Amino acid sequence: MSILQIALDVPLPRLFDYRHDGDLPENAVGRLAKVPFGTGSRVGVVLGVVEQSDQPAEKLKSAELLGELPALPADWLELCRFCARYYHHPLGQVMAFALPPLLRKGKKPRPIKPKVGAGETAEGRRASNMETAPSSNAATADQAAAIDAIVKASGFQTFLLHGVTGSGKTEVYLRAIEAVLARGGQALMLVPEIALTPQLESRVSARFPGAHVVSAHSGVADAARARAFLAALEGRAAIVLGTRLSVFMPMPALRLIVVDEEHDASFKQQEGLRYSARDVAIYRARQRDIPIVLGSATPSLETFHHAESGRYTRLELPERAVAAAELPTVVTVDTRRQKLQDGLSAELIAAVGERLRRGEQSLLFLNRRGYAPVLACPACGWISHCRRCAANLVLHLADRRLRCHHCGLEATIPHHCPDCGNLDLQPFGRGTQRLEAKLAEQFPEARTLRIDRDSADSPKKWQALLAAIHAGEADILVGTQMLAKGHDFPKLTLVGVVGADAALFAADFRAPERLFAQIMQVGGRSGRHDLPGAVLIQTEYPDHPLYRALVEHDYTAFANAQLAEREGAGFPPFAFQAMLRAEARELKEALAFLHAAVSSAPTFAEVLLYDPVPMRLARLKNRERAQLLVESRSRPALQGFLTQWMAALYGLKTPRELRWHLDVDPLEF
């Protein structure tokens, strides 16, 4: 009898012993196994085979190895172990998260007949990856230098590809991937948003018609995701494209990892296993001793700091790839001494009108969807609060609803004030719908198109909107951050930024970094071809250093100023943080747990624990939430502290309704 140590999808940091009767295959470790657990059964991953258990032999239940599914490779198992160690998350839950849902249930997807030219033969063997379609443009000198450095890299090396918007970073990625495929290797490319995956997949498939390209993101159906996982595992998929979860795709011949828009917060998972796909990708590159490319026009300050210190190799693309395209002119519009027309300045209205006369497109950027942030009663002060969250219901006039953007609660628009009966309820603030309505009124002859999570709530609608823009069927675009990156609209020459000032004084120390990246990214959509572009930023603080850096296109000056502030304040990347959060029916229960957590904490001289406090959004979905920040100047010290602390936290008695989790390297405060 063999004893199998199996990782199961349960919230406990341990393995479970099961017996295996009969002959055990040589490669048992890494195989999926179906086991009885509680009153039902679960599928887990075999991580060890031992001769003895700390449980009596007669109490061990039998495990069934699922032989029709291939064993997971050793490097994939180690990648999951790293995530469990670093993010202090139960290993069984890490592995369950990393597996496609179908395989997690122990099921094998039905095979499908490959399409002609899909890169697979009828027998399912990997096709030749040498076939590539030539690029339509010659590489610039800067691109060629970057490509040469990446292709000639020996072993593990982290590159920061710092290129202005429109500098051709994707072309660098594709040529580096081409070199990898020519040597029989596999490449992994991560992008931050699902919306960017289909267009990138089309471009990659067109460039490498002989390669098997698979996508991995939450929008892929379960069966297709499982097939992609197995194709990558068996070496048949030459290129894997996807969002953050694709970092867990097993790839035996992996030779290059690319993380596009590496600064994007979407690479950080905000529930369950709270991992950073960018950081896990860097670990994976080190593990496999291969190069990794982090690309961005506005690198995260952590990445920029590593490049400045020499830990990462910086590759610069300071000019746009299209010879006739120049960076847009950036101008601040001082709104302190003028009356805005529904949030629009006279300068911005005039600039939109000029583009209409020239047959060019304009984009107005407002990162707030809906018609107005709140509906209010001017008579008694009633506000459309969400009853489940510490937030307001946003007015969505187009579909006549009030909607919470945090929990999804919806309500009809009241005909009168629920408190005093006043019929004159007023919207306060502006969202994309209100901006769209104002532009339609100001320019009735223009075709105005709104792009946000409401108008593009499905992949089909999103693709239809993009097709309309490219076909020239829209004159004015009103959009949120969905339009801020990855898009190339030849006729777009004006970007107007509305309502950006609030982020200058936000409580989150990362807010200026995010604002700078957003404006530079969305501004980079303009003037990408032979038509000159312009960016108009409406602000009451035109002399703010952040806006001055944007006007000068000087990311380096902005980043250095921010790093100096963070070093003085002891913020990342000069310190390392973890956040313990708790939620319960009542706030006092969540705070009580966090105070107990402080009492149970080991003593580490280099680690500082702050006082437990309510979260900024203290109530979400009828749950009260609180948090406790842990900080250290030393990453090893913080990790050593967390390892001991988590053992104590699992031993604390908690109310049945209370839930808690640890977030290492948090992005949200």
| Residue 335 pLDDT > 80 | yes
Query: pLDDT per residue over 70-128, tens digit each?
Result: 899 999 999 999 999 999 999 999 999 999 999 999 999 988 765 544 444 333 334 44
Sorting pLDDT into bands at 50, 70 and 90, what band is 248?
Answer: very high
* Res. 485 pLDDT band, cuts 50 70 90: low
Over the stretch 546-589, which tens digit does the pLDDT of each residue have?
Answer: 999 999 999 999 999 999 999 999 999 999 999 999 999 999 99
State the chain's maximal CA–CA distance in angstroms: 84
Give me the pLDDT at residue 456, please. 76
Out of 115-124, 180-189, 307-316, 615-624, least confident range:
115-124
Q: What is the pLDDT of residue 397?
A: 83
Residue 97 pLDDT: 96
Q: Environment class of residue 340 by beta-carbon count within 10 Å: exposed (0-12), middle (13-18) or buried (19+)? A: middle
User: Which pLDDT tens digit goes with each residue over 281-290?
Assistant: 999 999 999 9
Nearest Cα neighbor of 295 from 170, 196, 446 is: 170
Q: Kindly report the number of other CB atoms within 10 A of residue 1's CB atom.
A: 11
pLDDT confidence band for 486 (50 / 70 / 90): low
3-state secondary structure 403-439: ECCCCCCEEECCCCCCCCCCCCCEEECCCHHHHHHHH
The mean predicted confidence, pLDDT, of the chain is 91
Tell me how far CA of residue 269 lies from CA of 111, 278, 284, 347, 477, in angstroms: 31, 11, 17, 40, 30
SS3 268: strand
Residue 664 β-bridge partners: 578
Domains along the sequence of the chain with CATH: 2-104 (3.40.1440.60), 141-317 (3.40.50.300), 329-372+429-565 (3.40.50.300), 576-664 (3.30.70.600)
pLDDT reading at 129 higher than 50: no
DSSP code per residue over 277-338: HHHHHHHHHHHHT-EEEEEESS--HHHHHHHHTTSSEEEEE-S-SSTT--PPEEEEEE-TTS
More confident residue, 44 or 326: 44
> CA 378 to CA 394: how far, in whole Å?
17
**Stronger pLDDT, 292 or 51, i.e. the higher one:** 292
Confidence of residue 198 (pLDDT cuts 50, 70, 90): confident
**Considering the chain, what percentage of its residues have pLDDT values greater than 90?**
71
Q: Does 669 score more than 90 pLDDT?
A: no
Backbone phi, psi, residue 326, to 5°: -115, 160
pLDDT at 156: 98
For residue 509, pLDDT beyond 80: yes
Give pLDDT, residue 134: 63
Q: What's the distance, Cα to Cα, between the start and end of the chain in Å?
A: 51
* CB-count exposure of residue 306 (10 Å: 0-12, 13-18, 19+): buried
Please, how many CA atoms are within 13 Å of residue 268, restricted to the half-sphere of its CB?
Answer: 12
Bridge-partner residues for 583, per DSSP?
A: 625, 659
The mean per-residue pLDDT over the stretch 332-345 comes to 90
Instruction: Give the pLDDT score at 114.
Output: 57
Per-residue pLDDT band for 527 (boundaries 50, 70, 90) equals confident
User: Rounded to whole angstroms, how far apart are CA atoms 107 and 100?
Assistant: 10
What pLDDT is stored for residue 120 in this prediction? 41
pLDDT confidence band for 612 (50 / 70 / 90): very high
pLDDT at 259 exceeding the cut of 50: yes
Q: Which pLDDT score, from 0 to 100, does residue 118 have?
A: 41
What φ, ψ does residue 140 adopt, rounded to 5°?
A: -70, 170
pLDDT of residue 652 exceeding 80: yes
625 secondary structure, DSSP code: E
- Per-residue pLDDT at 122: 32
Q: pLDDT by residue (tens digit) across 172-195?
A: 999 999 999 999 999 999 999 877
- 259, 300 Cβ separation under 8 angstroms: no
What pLDDT does residue 400 have?
86
Full-model pTM: 0.91
Sequential DSSP letters for 215-256: EESTTS-HHHHHHHHHHHHTT--SEEEESGGGGG---TTEEE
> Which pair of tokens denotes residue 385?
């609060």
